[in-house]
Amino acid sequence: MIIVTGATGKLGRRTVERLLDRVPAHRVGVSVRDPRMAQDLSDRGVRVRQGSFDDPASLAHSFEGAEQLLLVSLDRTGEECVTGHRTAIDAAVKARVGRILYTSQMGAAHDSRFQACRDHAQTEALLRSTGLPWTALRNGFYAASAMLFMESARHTGDIALPADGPVAWTGHDDLAEATAAILAGEACFEGPTPPLTGPAALDFDAVAGIAAQVTGRPFTRTVVVAGEFREQALAHGAPAPIADLMLSIFAAARNGEFTAVDSTLAELIGREPATFRTLLEQAWAA
């Protein structure tokens, strides 16, 4: 059986849907905090069990019988994130899972300037220490993050953000398709995969040009001093740790941590991944 955590989230849900195109529903299970949110999957024959990263016993139960476990990384940062992942990994070992696949990120490294990449590196080290077969899916930076950064610019025409660097923005749908392909046995990776990225690395200067093409309106790119950006984020209600986390994305991008572009994602899904322009058109048409 293939078990997927976070199956009601953006990536987990898409992965389950694409997995069901490849394998029978009785071979798929999900571990979710609230089973009511996955009732439609249960109705289609998917095994739904309650599992919380804060409740080791529930995870061991929801992972039972897993030949493969897709561990979708938590939406937390720092020690809280790594502790949750450790709990899940320990539960997987207890449940005798055959292989753990983990949604890591390109740029995962202990010395990354982006906190989440440091968390991913620590989690990969935990996986390495289990002795179980494991795969770290080094996903390209989610294009959804760029859309959030650009929400204000969508209305003002000015992309006012800290200095950045090229990022290989990548769509959730393509990453879910690739993940399902790996889970279904169409490919296998030991340890970290190559970067699973979109077709180009773009900074926000390039993004401004794409936005202008998509909308037919001019867009400017204004570089905001880091301290000023942080104060603006705080004024809009962001907690200080979140404001600092956002700033660290730009610091890591300037450091060249997200520039890699690789063909592996295209090979897995059998086509070129969606371009940033396509992803922007879809987001702004919604």
Contact 101, 137 (CB under 8 A): yes
| 133 has a pLDDT exceeding 90 | yes
- What are the tens digits of pLDDT across the range 138-179? 999 999 999 999 999 999 999 999 999 999 999 999 999 999
Domain 2-138+172-196+261-269 superfamily per CATH:
NAD(P)-binding Rossmann-like Domain (3.40.50.720)
- What are the tens digits of pLDDT across the range 46-72? 999 999 999 999 999 999 999 999 999
User: What's the confidence (pLDDT) of residue 159?
Assistant: 97
- In the chain, how long is the greatest CA-to-CA distance? 56
Average pLDDT, rounded, for the chain: 96
Q: Span 60-87, mean pLDDT? A: 95
| 286 has a pLDDT exceeding 90 | no
Give the side-chain half-sphere CA count within 13 A for 47.
18
Give the side-chain half-sphere CA count within 13 A for 94.
14
User: What's the confidence (pLDDT) of residue 43?
Assistant: 97
C-alpha triplet 130, 131, 134: angle, nearest 5°: 85
Q: Cα–Cα distance between 206 and 57 in angstroms, integer?
A: 48
Domain boundaries, the chain: 2-138+172-196+261-269
* pTM, to two decimals: 0.95
Residue 131 buriedness (CB in 10 A; 0-12 / 13-18 / 19+): exposed
- What are the tens digits of pLDDT across the range 29-46? 999 999 999 999 999 999
